Each structure stands twice: as C-alpha cells, then as structure tokens.
C-alpha cells in the first residue's frame, strides 16, 4: 500500500522510478528522533508513549530523466524519509 502511494505521488510529479523501495514502520519516538534545534518534543503525553510512523523511500532514476540537456547515461538513487507522530486522541487507542 505504501509503495503504491509513493509510486503514484512520484509519477504525478513526473518522476519515473526504475526501482522503488519503501520501508514503513510504527515505533516509539525516542529523543534521538527529535532534532535538538527544534526545541524537542516530549516523548510521552498523558503518561503514554508517543509513537510515530517512519517511512524511508528510495527511487532509482535514469540520470537523463533529471536534466533538460543531454548527459551520459547512468542511474542515480534518490533517498527520502518522513516521520509522522500518531495523534493519541484520534488513534482510538
């Protein structure tokens, strides 16, 4: 399901991946997940541990697809990640 969503979103932006890798996991948020320069976030709320969905995406594209001018053939792998905190009040847990 996540891979289909990623492939569709990238295609809408005109990015055609030759290979797509998607990994998604639900796990507790630890202090190492929170950048210090954003002031941090409490790791618990209402006595409950905060959890998040962590998604990592890789997309291998042909170099020629990235540039308007001609470049030698080849491939490059692009990486991206996203984290979303699970809303304790909407999750129904």
Give the pLDDT confidence of 4-60 residue by residue, as tens digits.
Answer: 888 888 888 888 888 999 999 998 887 767 655 455 555 676 777 788 889 999 999
Contact between 43 and 31 (Cβ < 8 Å)? yes
Residue ranges of the domains in the chain? 2-85
Question: What is each CA distance from 35 to 31, 40, 47, 71, 92, in whole angstroms?
Answer: 8, 7, 22, 37, 28
Contact between 22 and 10 (Cβ < 8 Å)? no
Burial class (CB in 10 A: 0-12, 13-18, 19+), 6: buried
pTM over 0.75: no
């Amino acid at each position: 399901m996540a891979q289909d969503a990623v492939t569709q979103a990238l295609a809408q932006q005109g990015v055609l991946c030759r290979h797509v890798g998607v990994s998604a996991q639900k796990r507790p948020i630890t202090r190492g997940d929170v950048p210090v320069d954003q002031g941090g976030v409490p790791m618990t709320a209402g006595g409950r541990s905060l959890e998040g969905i962590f998604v990592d995406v890789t997309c291998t594209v042909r170099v020629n697809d990235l540039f308007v001018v001609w470049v030698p053939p080849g491939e490059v792998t692009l990486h991206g990640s996203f984290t979303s905190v699970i809303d304790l009040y909407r999750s129904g847990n």
